[in-house]
Amino acid sequence: MNFFQIDPRPVGRGANEKFFSENSNVLGIEVTIPEWASRCSFGNIDHHGSQDTAETPSACEQAIKYGTRFFGRPCCGGGWDTYSCPKCDGADCPPVKPEAIVTVRPDADSVTAMAVVFSCLLGGGREIDRDLVKMVGTFDRLGHHAEQRDDRVVAIARVSADFKRSLTERVAWVQGLLAGNSEQMAEVAELVAERDKEFAEAKVASEINLVANGRIATVVSSHRFATNLGYEYATVVVAQNPEMPVNFRDPFAGTYNKFTVCRYNSHTPCNLPAALAELQVLEPGWGGRGDIFGSPQGVNSKLTLNQVVEVVQKHLK
């Protein structure tokens, strides 16, 4: 099985095209970019459509729901949910299974969904902890509003976002945890301890406030976990880094004042595209996509934190 992360940047187009030209029967997981979603010949498991809500099952929850149905019949056009064939009894139409799984943003939900699908395809009675999958999915949909968060969910989130591990390695790690591999629990404890330490450091180095009746968290910080810290308090975050490095690889390049505006996911009731459009009028150079955008790269923003918050607040739903 091939696992691949789609690069949404123009510079990544060549690698994306090469992958799709070399792989058939591609299954998408949360491929939210229409151009690339249409290239997922086996369909796209997602919960970010215009008709979806925070109650729509997450990708990993959908994966566990459909289980071994992850195959299609070629005479019916295939598809990840085309598990029955109205044209034949299947005797002369053997199942087709995805040969590759892709996503845009590896996170706890998408990587767990990949692990679930791959485990189902492997068959052989491979264990899948359905309760753990449910907890990952619930946290992905509800964020800090989720009733509980198991340490394993925290560990999955950290491993899923660890770019130092290949996507294949991340999927395999989550597979092992879903299968109940007790040998991984020591690493789970280490990952949780690292997370707690980093968040404690982030809190000390940050100024956090709630505005708009608690619906927006503002975070003034130079810590790399500023937005993650904000999500602990609200699902819309306006972060200001007054010391953003111009070039992370060159400490002598200087710093600048940078704003980042983000929402937890597409179900968060805030019209970010409208807020971005208004900020672009106030200060050209703002940009981004989906659930996150920011002030101009490499130059000091001329806006104040209050000005940015005022714009974002107007577009809360």
Cβ–Cβ < 8 Å for 139, 153: yes
State residue 24's pLDDT score: 85
Cβ–Cβ < 8 Å for 23, 99: yes
Question: How far apart, in Å, do the first and last CA atoms of the chain sit?
Answer: 42
What is the spatial distance between Cα 120 and Cα 25, in angstroms, rounded to a whole number? Answer: 16
CA angle 232, 235, 239 (to 5 degrees): 75
What is the spatial distance between Cα 80 and Cα 117, in angstroms, rounded to a whole number? Answer: 10
Cβ–Cβ < 8 Å for 229, 207: no
Q: Indicate the length of the chain as a whole number.
A: 317
Enter the tokens of residue 302.
Answer: 């001329």
Enter the tokens of residue 80.
Answer: 């990840």
Q: How many CA atoms lie within 13 A of 64 on its CB side?
A: 21
DSSP codes of every residue in 86-127: SS--STTS--B--SEEEESS--HHHHHHHHHHHHHHH-TT--
pLDDT digits (tens, 9 = 90+) for 240-281: 999 998 876 777 778 999 999 999 888 889 999 999 999 999
* Amino acid, res. 183: E
Q: Could you tell me which of 134, 112, 146 has the C-alpha nearest to residue 264? A: 146
Report the predicted TM-score, pTM, of the whole model to 2 decimal places: 0.80
Q: Which of the residues in the chain have pLDDT under 50?
A: 73-75, 78-86
Enter the tokens of residue 85.
Answer: 């064939």
Cβ–Cβ < 8 Å for 190, 141: no
Q: Which domains does the chain have, with CATH numbers?
A: 2-196 (no CATH), 206-314 (3.10.310)
State residue 91's pLDDT score: 54
What is the spatial distance between Cα 30 and Cα 11, in angstroms, rounded to a whole number? Answer: 21
State residue 64's pLDDT score: 84
Characterize the bridge pairing of strands 216-221 and 206-211.
Answer: antiparallel
Q: Percent of the chain scored above 70 by pLDDT?
A: 87
Q: Name 5's Cβ contacts closer than 8 Å, sequence gap at least 6.
A: 102, 103, 104, 105, 106, 167
* Amino acid, res. 64: I
Cβ–Cβ < 8 Å for 257, 242: yes
What radius of gyration, in Å, describes the C-alpha atoms of the chain? Answer: 21
pLDDT digits (tens, 9 = 90+) for 95-131: 667 889 999 999 999 999 999 999 888 765 578 999 9
State residue 80's pLDDT score: 45
